[in-house]
Amino acid sequence: MRKNLLYLGLILLVIGVVISGIATVEAGGRTEIVETSIKISPSGVYYSNELTVGSNSSVIVTGNTTTYLIPSQDLNMVNSTNVENYAIHPTTPSGNSILYDGLSGTYYLVAFGQHPPLITYAVLGSNLSQLIVYGLLIIAGAAIAVIGVILAILGAIMRSKFTPVHQF
């Protein structure tokens, strides 16, 4: 019983580490986090480097000012009065973070103001629901590994049953 518990714990530990490791590598390979360098156009528009977004991807933007996602072909036509006509509408705006989901193509982040804004964005190579699944796999793998460690420790410190020897 003791050895079986020890072996089961070690097997669960290895399985948990493998699941978490693979999910971490897959999730990390699908995310690119970049702090943009901001340029200013002659017309006074602050804009980022060009964002190339793959098929069915998501972009999460955080910043210290209102930021607009503009298709690259429309950048030269944008100003503070008509930006809403060209801007891609976010899937989920919430506070300083904005989510654009299901994108494909090339875009610029555009902002207006007296000072250059600080904008950070993450391009998620797959849709957000896939990243949530990877996150759940990481958590599940870690839980399996912890259970494995507990079982291995119990298997290592348990004593075998003492059976007294009867003397006649």
- Domain annotation covers residue 166: no
- Considering only residues 98 and 144, tell me which one the structure prediction assigns the higher pLDDT: 144
- Domain annotation covers residue 40: yes
Task: Tell me the pLDDT tens digit for each residue of 15-59.
Answer: 999 988 888 887 766 555 555 567 777 767 888 888 888 777 778
86 and 117 inside one domain: yes
- Domain annotation covers residue 167: no
pLDDT at 146: 92
Question: What is the share, in percent, of the chain residues with pLDDT greater than 90?
Answer: 13
70 and 6 inside one domain: no
60 and 88 inside one domain: yes
| The pLDDT of residue 143 is above 90 | yes
d(CA 123, CA 58): 6
Structural domain total, the chain: 2
- Domain annotation covers residue 135: yes
- Domain annotation covers residue 69: yes
Residue with tokens 């008509």: 82
Q: Which distant-in-sequence residues (6+ apart) come within 8 Å of 71 by Cβ? A: 86, 88, 105, 106, 107
Most trustworthy range by pLDDT among 16-25, 61-70, 139-148: 139-148
39 and 116 inside one domain: yes
- Domain annotation covers residue 163: no
58 and 73 inside one domain: yes
Residue 67 backbone zone (phi > 0: left; psi -120 to 50: alpha; other: beta): beta
88 and 68 inside one domain: yes
- Domain annotation covers residue 159: no
d(CA 124, CA 27): 9
59: domain CATH number is: 2.60.120
Containing structural domain, residue 88 = 31-125
93 and 147 inside one domain: no
21 and 47 inside one domain: no
Largest CA distance in the chain: 106
| The pLDDT of residue 93 is above 70 | no
Among 15, 116, 26, smallest CA distance to 65 is for 116
10 and 55 inside one domain: no
Reported pTM: 0.56
48 and 116 inside one domain: yes
